[in-house]
Amino acid sequence: MPSTVRVRFAPSPTGFLHIGGARTALFNWLYAKHTDGTLVLRIEDTDRARNTEEATRAIYDGLRWLGLDWDEGPEAGGNVGPYFQSEREAIYLSYLDKLRAAGRVYDDAGSVRFRFEREKVVVDDVICGHIEFDMTSAETNPDMTIRRPDGSWIFHFVNVVDDIEMKISHVIRGEDHLSNTPKHVQLYRAFGATLPHFAHIPLILNKDGSKMSKRDQGASLNTYVDGGYLPEAVRNYLCLLGWSPKDNREKIEMEEVVRLFELEKVHRKNAAFDLEKCTWLNGEYVRELNDDRFHNLARQALEKAGFDLSRFPADYVRAALETCKGKFKIFSELPGYCGFYFNDDFEYNPEGVAKHFVLENKPYLLAVRDAFAALENFDAVNLETALKATATQRGVKVGVLVHPTRLTVTGSNAGPSLYHLLEILGKEKVLARIERGLALF
């Protein structure tokens, strides 16, 4: 028997896809998958002044980047459309006529107001539990405008009408909408429609306890797309903002989340957003990437940063990237970590210059140059042997030679394994870079 569960994600195309909206979309998607139900994407574009086609496209692209497909809606089709509110005017007018016929609306200075029943409204929320809203006072809950004098519709009215028309069985949305629910319940009842199950998921808060806004760090999904995060890692992290598998695991495959996800198990407590934790989790996913995907994403990150990899042999690029695997958390860090492989004219780290490019180190670096120049086999094993032998001859610890050597050939104080990167760069390039560094002493 087909599932009767129908959920929806209904964003407004007024800017980028917020991380809170992405989490709401994910929870709706998870519940639809868990119940073999249907996810509807509806674009609530009634704000004519702020809606843009670019923002609508950003919604599609953001959802698809996260791997969240929708069953009905724009670019998917369905038999309860149109899926843009701007195209549903005739439907709204017909529902307004129903309210007029029932005596539930009246005109007020050019606007249309919905007449509330003066009663207590009880909501049994799947997540928040039994809540009673007192709407008996017209002073604290005045009748609600549903249509403005300019003919535009108020969110509450069109939202409920669309949910009725699209046969939405479960309204899963942020807890900031909980206070709107009694208004919506009254509209459902005025239309003689069956109430959906309401499930209000916890708010996403910053570390300081403030509600996350669109200006906060990490608020835009573009942060993750442009920053070189993996969609599966971001999706995994979003799952943990209000839900958990109950066994303290943080990395969990999406197939298992779908199997375990139930609305009753969503936390009541607000979720604390931690970009550092999301970044750490991304690093765990990067560490487990297969070679082909790792190299493809690494190349994209480097090319995006302006490196022309076509100038280098494929084997050289692949070998260079192999030294970076497991050494960074997000791909936007990669150009700074390994850009020296693909650019001879790099800048030196100022702190490293001050610490290691000092006169007392010049004889050591000259000795390293001579030892490397004498090598017939310029591989990691021989390079390490030569450097250690030079340190012994000079009566210093290996680190005294390692640090200025690394700085002069990479421009950095840290990076991939020194001996392996030297082998990949090759004898001619390494010696040329040491000469360049010596000129700074």
> Which of the residues are catalytic?
214
Residues in Cβ contact with 92 at an 8 Å cutoff, skipping those fewer than 6 apart: 153, 157, 158, 161
SS3 77: strand
- The values of phi and psi at residue 123, to 5°, are -120, 125
SS3 288: coil
Q: For residues 18 and 132, what is the distance between their CA atoms, to the nearest angstrom?
A: 30
Q: For residues 83 and 45, what is the distance between their CA atoms, to the nearest angstrom?
A: 10
Q: Are 125 and 152 in contact (CB under 8 A)?
A: no
Upper half-sphere CA count for residue 204 (Cβ side, 13 Å): 25
Q: What length does the chain have? A: 441
Positive or negative: CA dihedral 148, 153, 155, 159:
positive
Helix crossing, 291-304 with 314-322: angle to 10°?
Answer: 100
How far from 425 is each of 349, 388, 410, 419, 433, CA to CA, in Å?
Answer: 19, 20, 10, 10, 10
Q: Are 364 and 401 in contact (CB under 8 A)?
A: yes
Q: For residues 154 and 143, what is the distance between their CA atoms, to the nearest angstrom?
A: 13
Residues in Cβ contact with 91 at an 8 Å cutoff, skipping those fewer than 6 apart: 161, 165
Q: Are 382 and 375 in contact (CB under 8 A)?
A: yes
Residues in Cβ contact with 129 at an 8 Å cutoff, skipping those fewer than 6 apart: 268
Q: Which helix (H) or strand (E) holds 22?
A: helix 19-34
Q: Are 198 and 125 in contact (CB under 8 A)?
A: yes
Strand partners, 174: 201
Residue 155 burial (CB count, 10 A): 16
